[in-house]
Structure 1
Amino acid sequence: MEKKTESAIEAGIREAQKLRDNGLIRIDLETGISNAQRLLERSEIAMVGSVDLNGFPHTKAMFIRKSERLETVWFGTHLSTKRVSQFTQNPKASLYFFDKNSGEGLLLVGEIEVLQDMKSKESLWREGWQAYYPLGALDPNYGILKFIAQSGNYYKELQSIEFDL
């Protein structure tokens, strides 16, 4: 007989019920921000949200290139993409990080700047990216997205901690 695997929804319900039964341990603002920072540091991918010309949201998974605390996150990108065009027209953006093992989530809201200067491109270049940008950091289609957060919302154990940056 094949063992049935618990779905993510079933696991979430089970864990939420355990928390309700055992009592919630309140997460204070300082701990929430510290936990949010650790979640960002162990994340390799962020869900990046942009807004199209009609005001509709678009979300895409992107590899994180570098981050500074919760305030700034950088990504490498093709300059010819729809996403770059959207950020050029409207810099409002969001990033979302999720750890399926701990159930933690982090939403950061802010703006994205499209960088094309050589200093930024070279400092954030990663060996192996020639697969995406054959001319290396000099590739005219290679650019950097610099996200600057204004606020955040950290979620864990049925609790949301909102904060400004």
Structure 2
Amino acid sequence: MMMTTREKAEKLHQKVNTFILSCVGEDGYPLTKAVMPGKYRESLNELYFCTNISSRFVAELSKNTHASVYFYSRGRVWQGCLLKGEMTIVDDMKIKEKYWQNKFKNAYPQKSFTDPDYCVLKFVPQSGRFYSLYKSVDFEL
């Protein structure tokens, strides 16, 4: 049985180690940063990323939630997936605790998910574009 484009994107999402996040800066140009995957990767329906609330990226997101996420693999077959949707800043402390990792302790003075600079971003994609074997396929989420 052949996998759907969505299933291929889900499989790639589970194995990659770097995600590229982009939002729209107030100057109208993209603002992009690379981040590591979140602690949990349940599905493409919701993706979570950790960063600093004091970052320029978060400041821009607070003004415009339109964003994209790109991830890829350069194995024997190059594959990539672009997701477009809405990215919001999470205020729920239970979610912030869920995505906290001990390796973050050196980056935050309070060494805890309660540190005021620790930020979790929630991304809800609306559409995607999957690339593999020299062709791209658009899909909805």
Fold-level match, TM-score > 0.5?
A: yes
| CA displacement at 1:45 relative to structure 2 | 1.4
Q: Which runs of 4+ in 1 moved over 4 A?
A: none
Which 5+ residue runs of structure 1 have no aligned equivalent?
1-27
**CA deviation profile, 1:96-122 (whole Å, cap 9, x unmatched):** 111111200100000101013311111
1:53 corresponds to which of 6, 26, 41: 26
Residues 1:133 and 1:116: Cα distance change in structure 2 (over 3 Å): farther
How many equivalent residue pairs? 137
**Aligned positions of 1:65-84 closer than 5 A:** 65=38, 66-84=40-58
1:126 corresponds to which of 101, 112, 132: 101
Q: State the TM-score, normalizing by the size of structure 2.
A: 0.91
Query: What fraction of aligned residue pairs are identical, expressed as a percent?
Result: 34
| CA displacement at 1:145 relative to structure 2 | 0.4
**Structure (1/2) with the larger helix percentage:** 1
SS in 2 for 1:128: helix
Matching of residue 146 in structure 1 with residue 122 in structure 2 = yes
**Aligned positions of 1:79-94 closer than 5 A:** 79-94=53-68
**CA deviation profile, 1:61-115 (whole Å, cap 9, x unmatched):** 0111133321211011110110001110000000011111120010000010101
1:111 corresponds to which of 66, 86, 97: 86
Which 5+ residue runs of structure 2 have no aligned equivalent?
none
CA distance in 2, matches of 1:68, 1:148: 13
CA distance in 2, matches of 1:124, 1:164: 26
Q: What's the RMSD between the two structures over aligned residues?
A: 1.3
CA distance in 2, matches of 1:64, 1:134: 22
AA aligned to 2:87 is I
